[in-house]
Amino acid sequence: MPKTMEFTAKSIEKALELAGQKLDMNPDDIKHDIISYGSSGIFGLVGVKKAKIRVFIKPGDNKEKRSAPPTENLKDMQPREHAKNLVAAAFQDTEYQPKAKEETIEDKSEPVDDEIVAFGKQVVETIVKKISENASVSVQRHKDKIIYNVEGGQNAVLIGKRGHTLEAIQYLVEKIVNKKNAKRIRVLVDVEGYLDTRRENLVKLATRSAQKAKRVGKPMTLGQMNAHDRRIVHLHLKKDNGVRTQSIGEGYYRRLMIFPKKRKKTKN
């Protein structure tokens, strides 16, 4: 009777590669049964299940090697890069397609029906339940947007370092809701009023940067920001006649530039 060994990895292919390395065999030549296909879980962090296979080893096959499979150290990643990877892992089959034209700050969203609001709440509750216990979700319904407020539970875990985990949650929820709806809906996810605090800080940052841009006569850059944060800055500085704002780059995160407007020369 052939000997059996079990291997686990992120996917069936990776498990076969691992078995091939340990047994010094071509993965295509390995006879195996699939025990579990695995699951990427939520954001690739919680609810993750690895793929598992059972390999049948005939007499004469090489003995297993003692090398361990490589592991990915998430602590070594930068917070913003980590958040990008979370979104990619959670939404593998959806590719973000940036608009060809420069983004606009005018809101053309339309009121949404009860079914979409309830569906969005269910999505938020499902994600939050995987990350934190004893948290509840309430809804604030506006004409141009839906805000899902998360209260209780582990706030620090849901928000994440510099708010990047909350960004990833919001990105995912908005993508799922708008995939179901024919017209785009603005969806926000808040945790214990975090968005209000962040808005205040962004407004202060935008004001200081605009003042400096006008003082030195050179553009200022506000790093990489998500669409919601860029919108806050765009709207706040729209009323400042001394500057103009523009988003630079493609993808979910873009740099925001604040340009001082040239003063018109007055004729004597």
User: Bridge-partner residues for 188, per DSSP?
Assistant: 147
73 in a structural domain: no
The pLDDT confidence band at residue 101, using thresholds 50, 70 and 90, is: very low
Tokens read off for 100:
């060809």
In this predicted structure, the answer to whether residue 73 has a pLDDT above a threshold of 60 is: no
| Listed range (63-77, 93-107, 160-174, 227-241) with the worst mean pLDDT | 63-77
Mean pLDDT on 87-92: 43
Contact call for residues 233 and 225 (beta carbons, < 8 A): yes
Q: Is 63 within the bounds of a domain?
A: no
Q: Which residue, 161, 192, 223, sits at the end of a domain?
A: 192
Q: What is the CATH number of the domain that holds 236?
A: 3.30.1370.50
DSSP labels, 124-142: HHHHHHHH-SSEEEEEEE-
Beta strand pairing status for 51-57 and 243-248? unpaired
Q: Domain ends where: 192, 223, 252?
A: 192
Q: What is the pLDDT of residue 67?
A: 38
Question: Quick check: 246 pLDDT over 80?
Answer: yes
Q: Which of 167, 192, 217 is the last residue of a domain?
A: 192
In this prediction, residue 177 carries a pLDDT of: 87
In this prediction, residue 145 carries a pLDDT of 84
Note whether 187 and 202 are same-domain residues.
no
Domain membership flag for residue 207: yes
pLDDT at 97 over 70: no
Instruction: Quickly count: other Cβ atoms within 10 Å of residue 129's Cβ.
Output: 16
> Phi and psi for 228 in degrees, rounded to 5?
-65, -45
Can you tell me the distance from the alpha carbon of 263 to that of 268, in angstroms, rounded to the nearest whole number? 15
Q: CB under 8 Å to 4, separation ≥6 — which residues?
A: 54, 55, 56, 57
> Are residue 177 and residue 222 in the same domain, yes or no?
no
In this predicted structure, the answer to whether residue 107 has a pLDDT above a threshold of 60 is no
122 and 172 housed in the same domain: yes
Residues 43 and 22 reside in one and the same domain = yes
Q: How many CB atoms lie within 10 A of CB 170?
A: 22
Q: Are residues 249 and 157 in the same domain?
A: no
Q: Are residues 129 and 155 in the same domain?
A: yes
What pairing do the DSSP bridges indicate for beta strands 3-9 and 51-57? antiparallel
Residues 121 and 218 in one domain: no
Token pair in block for residue 68? 């361990």
Domain count, the chain: 3
Mean pLDDT over the full length of the chain: 77
| CA 126 to each of CA 112, 172, 228, 267: distance values in angstroms, whole numbers, following the listed order | 21, 12, 23, 65
Task: Tell me how far CA of residue 24 lies from CA of 13, 37, 71, 100, in angstroms.
Answer: 16, 23, 21, 50
pLDDT digit string, tens, across residues 170-184: 888 988 888 877 788
Q: Distance between CA atoms of 64 and 22, rounded to whole angstroms?
A: 5
Q: Name the residue range of residue 238's domain.
A: 197-260
Shared-domain flag, residues 182 and 168: yes
Identify which of 17, 14, 15 has the alpha carbon closest to the alpha carbon of residue 27. 17
Q: What's the pLDDT tens digit per position in 41-72?
A: 554 544 557 888 889 887 765 544 433 333 33
Residues 88 and 134 in one domain: yes
> How would you classify the pairing of strands 32-36 and 51-57?
antiparallel
Taking 70 as the threshold, does the pLDDT of residue 35 lie above it? yes
Task: Enter the tokens of residue 106.
Answer: 């005018």
**% of the chain at pLDDT higher than 90:** 26
Residue 268 lies in a domain: no
The answer on 186 and 84 residing in a single domain is yes
One domain, residues 185 and 83: yes
182/107 same-domain check: yes
Whether 227 maps to a domain, the answer reads: yes
> Between the CA of residue 176 and those of 89, 180, 182, what are the distances in Å?
14, 7, 12
- 118 versus 102: the higher-pLDDT residue is 118
Residue 76 pLDDT: 36
